[in-house]
Structure 1
Amino acid sequence: MLPKRIVITGGASGLGFALAQLAAKAGWRVAIVDRDVERGEAVITSLQRKQPQSCFIPCDVTRLSDLERVAKELQERWQGVDVVVNNAGVAQVGKLVDTSISDWQWIMDINVLGVVRGCKVFIPMLQQQGGGHLINVASMAGLLDVPNMSAYNASKAAVVSLSETLQNELAEDNIHVAAVCPSFFRTNLGQGMRSTIENMDDKLEKLMSKSKLNATDIAKAIMRTIERQESYTLPHKQGRNAWYLKRFLPRSWYRKLLHKTVKKHS
């Protein structure tokens, strides 16, 4: 049996690269696609030591033609893929009134339409093969509603909703779809982050440093989700608990707890 074939957008660093390392170690053929060509070329050798057929393909998820080129190359190179991970994303922090429309367009083009493009390009391939896995990386921000993150929250909520919808649409095609919703963990999310809040870089670093999980832990959770064909990956216990409270408590009670928690960590 041939090893699984996985393609990961935003795969040259952070969570994407941590997942690539685990997959390559397991013998999977790994394609990391990323717009950071220098970084991609620098890290692909380490993956090829684990799995020689792994590759790096430059790609900007804001361009449908780039993703179509990736799909075509992997069809020619591997005769298809088994797992598609739409991981590429960016962050924006600030009150709604302080966030420009151009920042909204920027984050939606990457976080939402980047995932949409990845799904649109690879779903026909998975259907033709008779099945596969579609893993969309969202965030607990897509399930909760932390203040001062309206654009980011909305973009990740869209990814969750898209994933849930595709679970229904693709069930008969034997395509497993999951939404990955981690809380803060140490990664490179702050690089390129846009913010209208003073000292947000320091605050983000503080939040990430408190996490008990790192990128490899999240990647391991994604591998389990693929194996078990689960609908959600919610790796942080505190995040899961907050989501349960939101779902089952009266809204007024949940909001009080949320604001108390935000104040504690601000």
Structure 2
Amino acid sequence: MKPQRIFITGGASGLGFALAQICAKGGWQVCIGDRDIERGEAVIGSLQKWQPKAMFLPCDVTRMSDLEQVAKTLTEKWGGVDVVVNNAGVAQVGKISDTTLSDWQWIIDINLLGVVRGCKVFTPLFKQQGSGHFVNIASMAGLLDVPNMSAYNATKAAVVSLSETLQNELVNDNIHVTVVCPSFFKTNLNQGMRSTIDGIEQKVDKLMSSSKLNAVDIARLIMKAVDKKKSHVLPHRQGRLAWYMKRWLPRSWYQKLLYSRMK
């Protein structure tokens, strides 16, 4: 794949950092953005071993001004950017009756509006360049409906819908959009997770550890999708099967299978 210029939110750890490593090794110009400044400054050196001009820029996706500053910096230093990965995200677990509105607002501001802000800031730059590619990281939670995760599911479903809408809206501007829907895999998502359910951290850890794919595997699939300009990436076979069952089985059958999986 021809080296390009890429910016990744939430790029200092997890899937974002795995993407950054693959791109840096492949000769891409890489910029990671993250609100964890200490972590970003700690890991940028490892990227610079492969790509000496790799950059870390502090970036909180809840602040439009942070993303605007990133776009300005990349325009000044690189003359633009080819791929923007809206990856930053958080998790919230709890029954609808126990999840506070402040938790809803918190997760919407990051998981959904963080992606919206990224798309709004970089779309004008992509149009000016005559090309660009958004990669929006959603989740199988956006296609399925795992119980006790209404806030998380809703934000990821919205990211799927936003991405599909932009695929139609921006196609004539030569701007491509890929939405990624992984199932559970080993990452640091549960470190900042908010939950009202006792013991959920252990259950999430178990589900993550059981995944046959890790962050690097998923990152490689994402880069292949960017190369081929694919609209959707569903990396996990079990997730794809669950989605097919939801679409084609009677609702009651699907619900039984879903609950058996969550036990």
TM bucket (normalised to shorter chain) is: over 0.9
Task: Find the counterpart in structure 2 of residue 225 from structure 1.
Answer: 225
Task: Find the counterpart in structure 2 of residue 34 from structure 1.
Answer: 34
Shift of 1:236: 0.3
Shift of 1:245: 0.8
Q: Distance in 2 between matches of 1:244 and 1:203?
A: 24
Q: Distance in 2 between matches of 1:38 and 1:257?
A: 43
Matches within 5 A, 1:22-171: 22-171=22-171
Q: Distance in 2 between matches of 1:103 and 1:93?
A: 10
Q: Distance in 1 between matches of 2:256 and 2:3?
A: 49
Q: Distance in 1 between matches of 2:11 and 2:135?
A: 13
Residues 163-210 of structure 1, C-alpha deviation per residue, up to 9 Å, x if partnerless?
Answer: 000000001011110110000000000111000000111111111111
Q: Aligned with 2:88: secondary structure?
A: coil
Task: Find the counterpart in structure 1 of residue 181 from structure 2.
Answer: 181
Q: Distance in 1 between matches of 2:102 and 2:183?
A: 26
Q: Aligned with 1:207: secondary structure?
A: helix
Task: Find the counterpart in structure 2 of residue 190 from structure 1.
Answer: 190
Task: Find the counterpart in structure 1 of residue 205 from structure 2.
Answer: 205
Q: Which runs of 5+ in 2 are unaligned?
A: none
For normalisation by structure 2, the TM-score amounts to 0.98
Q: Aligned with 1:191: secondary structure?
A: helix
Q: Aligned with 2:204: secondary structure?
A: helix
Q: Aligned with 2:189: secondary structure?
A: coil
Q: Aligned with 1:60: secondary structure?
A: coil
Shift of 1:49: 1.1
Moved more, 86-95 or 47-56: 47-56
Task: Find the counterpart in structure 2 of residue 252 from structure 1.
Answer: 252
Q: Which runs of 5+ in 1 are unaligned?
A: none
The root-mean-square deviation of aligned C-alpha atoms, in Å, is: 1.1
- Report sequence identity in percent: 72
Q: Distance in 1 between matches of 2:85 and 2:17?
A: 11
User: One-letter code of the match for 1:55?
Assistant: M
Q: Distance in 2 between matches of 1:166 and 1:247?
A: 23
Residues matched between the structures, number: 263
For normalisation by structure 1, the TM-score amounts to 0.97
